[in-house]
Amino acid sequence: MTAFAEWLGQVGLAHCAQALVENGIDFDIAQGLTESDLRSLGLNLGDSRRLLQAVTKLGDQTIAPSAGPVAVVDGADAGRSPAPAC
């Protein structure tokens, strides 16, 4: 069972897991689904709305507040002098 299918069970949509997983739906794709998409997969109105609400709530929980700018350091460039500014 995929993590997505397990999560569907946690939000009360285990009965939709097969249709979604068979159509390649996972967390990354679920965020962009529309009600029309879900209806075309055979989900009824209530389940479509439940899934969309759960995905929105999940997205809200996984977005961490920004900690400010992040410096990216490439280990291959270690020890080299910085390039001159133009």
Q: Which residue has the higher pLDDT, 66 or 73?
A: 73
Q: Where are the alpha helices (DSSP H) in the chain?
A: 3-10, 17-22, 27-30, 35-40, 45-62
Which H or E run contains 30? helix 27-30
Tell me the torsion sign for CA atoms 73, 65, 6, 27: negative
| Residue from 12, 17, 6, 61 nearest 41 by CA | 17
Flag whether pLDDT at 68 surpasses 90.
Answer: no
Q: Which fold has domain 3-62?
A: DNA polymerase; domain 1 (1.10.150)
> Is 0.85 surpassed by the pTM of this model?
no
For the chain, give every domain's residue range: 3-62
pLDDT digits (tens, 9 = 90+) for 10-37: 999 999 999 999 999 999 999 999 999 9
